[in-house]
Amino acid sequence: MTNQRDLSIRRLRWGLVAAYVLHVLILAAFVLEVVPQQYHHPERTFWLHHGGDDWGYVSLAQTILKADFQPNKYPLGFPLLITPFMAIMGTTSHDALLPVISAFWSLVMFPVGQILLAYLAESWTGRRWLALQSVLIWTSLPVVFFVVLRVVGNASVAETYSVHLLWAQMLSDGPAVLFTLLVMAAFVRLRASPLPHNWAALLGVLCGFLALVRLTGALGAAAVGLALLLERRWRELGMMVVCALIVFAPQLVYQWHFFDHPLRTGYTALDTLPDQGLFHVSYLSAGLEKIIDRVGLLIVPAAIISLGIAAAGLRFVWRIDRLGAIVLGTWLVSYGVVYAVYYYTWVGGAARFLMPTFPAIAILATSAIAALARRGRPA
């Protein structure tokens, strides 16, 4: 039994190495323009599509480093992650920082995300081969997105969405996914640890920083908070909330100082807002119209198949770890509901903002495959 377990672990490790190699190959296809790139800087290897947000992040990081804060629409989390690069490299130049930070997140931090996803998938499905499948599906998504969007959209749209999934940018997309995975992994460790209070404190710190990176990261924190509530882990839940608020407090103070209210964000104070506000069901109808224009009635069977896969995957996980299934379902549904009626979803950010849910989708997809394989076996 021990030999079989050791062999299984070795296979998973080599599988993760193969998954990383796959990521590097896909990344190289974009960076080296095997896949033609409209937005690739001709003299910078790691300079793919950014959309302009990178300038805002660097600007805020510069004010943080100088302790000369200025109002900025972006939250503090990702600029804080940029400041160590400024200190180590001895520069605050956007053009100097961008390729280094892009390479770091894509080549160094992405494999950390792969390891975390494998850990979560194994914990919630109980099978290492499903963990590896989840990682391979997630790693392959840039190619899937590019092919699908190239067919139903155009080259520019396909490039824009796909390169975000590689984390090869000076944007908060990669960090938002990574810290979501860290939050979920800390929650799993908390449940299994003889010292749950320590993990609850770490979980709270991670939840607070996740919300600093992207304000809607609070949705991931809410998913694990609900699970702790259902398990009646009152002390762990209280510790998580307190630690999260402590870490997130600088953002509230920042908003209170510059925008006259702790809950008024830079997006609402400085950005261009639609007439209906940031959240309105009209954006859902507008988004559906765009999708129908692209793919027609194919959206109906696609939606049915997607819901069927999610339901089958959740049912599979439910039989192994009910709380894990609740976390996965809440994680996925909360993001889906919020971004269905969120303004930026329909002006070019759907795939970007839903990126933190893609690891959950990968786990549910592999779980659904396992459920179908089990059903197909003879009794």
pLDDT, tens digit only, all 379 positions of the chain: 566 666 677 888 899 999 999 999 999 998 888 887 777 777 777 888 887 889 999 999 999 998 888 899 999 999 999 999 999 999 999 999 999 999 999 999 999 999 999 999 999 998 888 999 999 999 999 999 888 888 877 777 788 888 889 999 999 999 999 999 999 999 999 999 999 999 999 999 999 999 999 999 999 999 999 999 999 999 999 999 999 999 999 999 999 999 999 999 988 888 888 888 888 888 888 777 777 776 676 777 878 888 889 999 999 999 999 999 999 999 999 998 898 888 777 665 667 889 999 999 999 999 999 888 776 554 4
Do 156 and 38 form a contact (C-beta atoms < 8 A)? yes
Q: Which two tokens stand for residue 52?
A: 């302009």
| Domain annotation covers residue 334 | yes
Nearest partner of 145 among 341, 376, 361, 307, judged by Cα:
361
| Domain annotation covers residue 163 | no
| Domain annotation covers residue 79 | no
SS3 76: coil
Q: CA distances (Å), 36 to each of 156, 203, 226, in order? A: 10, 41, 44
Q: What is the pLDDT of residue 347?
A: 62
- In whole angstroms, give the CA distance from residue 130 to residue 173: 25
- In whole angstroms, give the CA distance from residue 120 to residue 368: 16
Do 313 and 302 form a contact (C-beta atoms < 8 A)? no
| Domain annotation covers residue 324 | yes
Nearest partner of 114 among 251, 15, 252, judged by Cα:
15
What value does the CA radius of gyration of the chain take, rounded to a whole number of Å? 21
- In whole angstroms, give the CA distance from residue 145 to residue 202: 34
Report the b/e string of 219-232 with b at 16+ CB within 10 A: bbbebbbbbbeeee
Question: How many distinct structural domains can be found in the chain?
Answer: 1
Report the b/e string of 245-257 with b at 16+ CB within 10 A: eebbeebeebbee
| Domain annotation covers residue 330 | yes
Q: What is the pTM of this model?
A: 0.93
- In whole angstroms, give the CA distance from residue 248 to residue 202: 14
Do 111 and 20 form a contact (C-beta atoms < 8 A)? yes
| Domain annotation covers residue 287 | yes
Query: Containing domain of residue 355, as a range?
Result: 272-379
Beta-carbon contacts of 49 under 8 Å, excluding residues fewer than 6 positions away, are: 37, 38, 39, 159, 160, 163, 164, 169
SS3 342: strand
| Domain annotation covers residue 61 | no
| Domain annotation covers residue 42 | no
Burial class (CB in 10 A: 0-12, 13-18, 19+), 364: buried
- In whole angstroms, give the CA distance from residue 200 to residue 289: 44
